[in-house]
Structure 1
Amino acid sequence: MCVFGGRASSRFTALNTPLVQPLLLYCYPPIPFPGGTVHMVCRNKDKAEEARADIVKESGNKEIYVHILDLSETRKVWEFAEAFKRKYKALNVLINNAGCIMSERDVNAEGLEKSFASNVMGVYILTRGLIPLLEKSAEPRVITVSSGGMLVQKLRTGNLQTEIGRYDGTMVYAQHKRQQVVMTEQWAKTHSNIHFSVMHPGWVDTPAVANAMPDFHQSMKDSLRTPEQGADTAVWLAISEAAATKPSGSFFQDRRMVSAHLPLAWTHSSQLEQQKFMSVMEDLAKTFQPH
């Protein structure tokens, strides 16, 4: 358990989308802000309730609420955001933490490639939909959990759903994590009253890593981080006063602001490319928005 100097209080409300696999809720546990209210947005009800019980027991905070939502179901993400805004008056922190790695390409009922729908479109819609609620709070923050895998990827503005070419789930995931970095940077420019950040948790020992990269997991398992270690920077970004002094839109690892690009990696994209990507996301998101 880490201790943070922060701003949590009885009026502090956070929404966290934990990583949910088909039969498993794991990875970075929802954050037990002392005295605040935490809303967990999860896919698996049984695992979510189990996690909630553990958090209540450990923290003593009963203001932990579970909402069942699959972020790959795009229309339902819109509906959730609208319902949440109607029910609650403010939101202090949004943590985008859900994600998935697919071994082969699959599409959801709406025709979207599932990992793109969950990792990118779901994050885009949920964040965009809740920005008006965040703007009603003092010092609102949005933290998105990315991955160091994105460091080998340059932003793609086309073929976003990997309809062309071979489907490599690990590389697709890495591209999605690059897209999350770009979304964070662009949101920071257009919403100056919200503090946006994106972070790499380090390589954490989770079933997702074991299943997606078995050779890597086998060779590195003794060096992988625990879920608590992986969550540390996200918690710090959410509640510490020091984090709020860092530039909005920055990329973090181990509580430090670091470059979102490796030297000589040729992963930089132009402002025009980034704006084109955001425009494509907005247009696609609107096609699923309830009227």
Structure 2
Amino acid sequence: MSIYQKTAFFIKGRMQFTNGGYAKSAKSFNEADTKKDVTGQVFMITGANSGLGKSAATSIAKNGGEVHMVCRSLDRANKAKEEIIQESGNSNVHVHMLDLSNTKSVYEFAKTFSDEHSTLNVLVNNAGCMVNERQTTAADIEMNFATNTLGTYVLTEQLVPLLMKSTKPRVITVSSGGMYTQKLNVKDLQSANGTFSGDMAYAQQKRQQVILTEEWAKLQPQIHFSSMHPGWADTPAVRTSMPGFHSYMKDNLRTPEQGADTIVWLAVSDAALAQPSGQFFFDRKPAATHLTLAWTRETAEDRRLFLTKLSEIA
């Protein structure tokens, strides 16, 4: 990351990604957009036991949706489930245990879920991973890449047939503003070269997710795809993976509810469906995917190679 990229990103972040930025954006929100009755619709949210995922699951449950929480820890997920039911008054909340870094398990889970359910209206790819030392899975895949990119890719691809059984299905992928600092590095998708940085690997994978969303929108026009940036939110993941950043910014961080607002808007509102598929959203509005003069744009050939390599790895 260049000095310019770092500086431009931080300035943008302080102006827009904080709780103050949310308060300014929220003045133009139509609150009715996120209060829509979605009784009878089926929602799957990965990483739904805490932070943004739990907040989104709670809001959707309050709106009457059938919520499927896909989580790595069964104990934490069951505890969160009871809290969501209690807060929402909706008992139609279900827990599924899945480690997205285990590609074989992702395939098996998607097949089982598709066999047991007749429809899926909305998939929210929210689960994320930031391991600060380079680790690999049993399949020799770098841990962050296995969860953030490969797991998201396989789960979404395998659930496409089920999604297409519903009317106006949606897929929402929770990216990060960190992707503004990264250009797609198709030669080193798993951060094997040079000094490893967990936050830079994470940012690179968030760039990959935005590109995936754009490409899915082209390939699957029957499904409404979107990616989004929640802003800088105070979540357990941020506290654990980025303690220095959390300590420095804690008074300015968004609440999980504020961070999850655009997830819920994309998942339930008619206004979101009125937008073209494949866009990147921030505070309920389409946002640019590159900073000015940051030199982060990939070529069409880079995109083609990325999709080819991802398919081969999966």
- Matched residue, 1:289: none
In the alignment, which residue of structure 1 is the partner of 2:36? 6
Residue 74 in structure 1 maps to residue 99 in structure 2: no
**Does residue 139 in structure 1 map to residue 144 in structure 2?**
no
Question: In 1, Cα distance between the equivalents of 2:46 and 2:174?
Answer: 10
User: Which region of structure 1 is more displaced relative to structure 2, 26-35 or 77-86?
Assistant: 26-35
**Cα deviations by residue, 1:200-259 (Å, 9 ceiling, x for unpaired):** 000011232233333322221000011111110000000000000111000001111110
Offset of residue 6 of structure 1? 2.9
Any conservation in 1 of the 2:46–2:53 contact (CA below 8 Å)? Answer: no
Alignment of 1:211-230 (within 5 A): 211-230=240-259
Instruction: Letter of the 2:53 partner, please give it.
Output: Y
Q: Contact (CA 8 Å) 1:144, 1:197: kept in 2 or not? A: yes
Name the SS of the counterpart of 2:286 in structure 1.
strand
Indicate how the Cα distance of structure 1 residues 26 and 46 shifts in structure 2: closer, same or farther if over 3 A, else same. Answer: farther
Separation in structure 1 between the aligned mates of residue 86 and residue 74 of structure 2, nearest angstrom: 18
Contact 1:74-1:121 at 8 Å conserved across structures = yes
TM-score relative to the length of structure 2? 0.86
- Aligned: 1:245 with 2:302: no
Aligned to 1:166: 195
Structure 1 equivalent of residue 85 of structure 2: 56
Structure 1 residue aligned with 2:234, among 205, 208, 211?
Answer: 205
> Are the equivalent residues in 1 in contact too, given 2:53–2:127 (CA < 8 A)?
no
| Counterpart-to-counterpart distance in 2, 1:169 and 1:108 | 15
2:37/2:64 contact within 8 Å kept: no
Distance 2:159 2:238 in 1: 30
Deviation at 1:27, TM superposition (A): 3.9
Residue-by-residue CA offset, 1:236-290 (whole Å, 9 max, x unaligned): 00000000011100000111111011111111112221121011111111xxxxx
- 1:31 is matched with 57
Unpaired runs of 5+ in structure 1? 286-291
1:235 to 261, 264, 289: 264
SS at match of 2:137: coil
Tell me how far 1:7 sits from its aligned partner.
5.3
Q: Kindly provide the amino acid, as one letter, of the partner of residue 182 in structure 2.
A: Q
The CA RMSD over aligned residues, in Å, is: 1.4
Q: Which residue is 1:288 aligned to?
A: none
Select the residue among 211, 218, 221 that pairs with 1:189. 218
Moved more, 130-139 or 28-37: 28-37
CA apart distance, 1:19: 5.9
CA contact (8 A) 1:146 1:177 kept: yes
2:152 and 2:134 map into 1 onto residues whose CA distance is 19
Give a deviation string over 1:174-211, Cα, whole Å, max 9, x none. Answer: 00000000000000000001000000000011232233
Alpha-carbon distance between aligned partners in 2 of 1:36 and 1:199, rounded to the nearest angstrom: 21
Residue number among 185, 193, 203 corresponding to 1:156 in the alignment:
185
Q: Give 1:253-264 correspondences, 5 Å limit.
A: 253-264=282-293
Q: Which portions of structure 1, spanning 4 or more consecutive aligned residues, are displaced by more than 3 angstroms?
A: 25-28
Give the distance between the partners of 1:91 and 1:27, measured in 2 at CA: 21
SS at match of 1:179: helix
User: Structure 1 length normalisation: TM-score?
Assistant: 0.93
- Superposed, 1:61-140 pairs within 5 Å as 61-140=90-169
SS in structure 1 at match of 2:44: strand
How many aligned residue pairs are there? 279
CA shift for structure 1 position 5: 4.1
Which ranges of structure 2 fall in alignment gaps of 5 or more residues? Answer: 1-30
Residue 71 (structure 2) aligns with: 42
Q: Is the 8 A contact 2:120 2:166 kept in 1?
A: yes
Matched residue type, 2:302: E
Identity between Structure 1 and Structure 2 (%): 50
User: 209-218 or 267-276: which moved more?
Assistant: 209-218
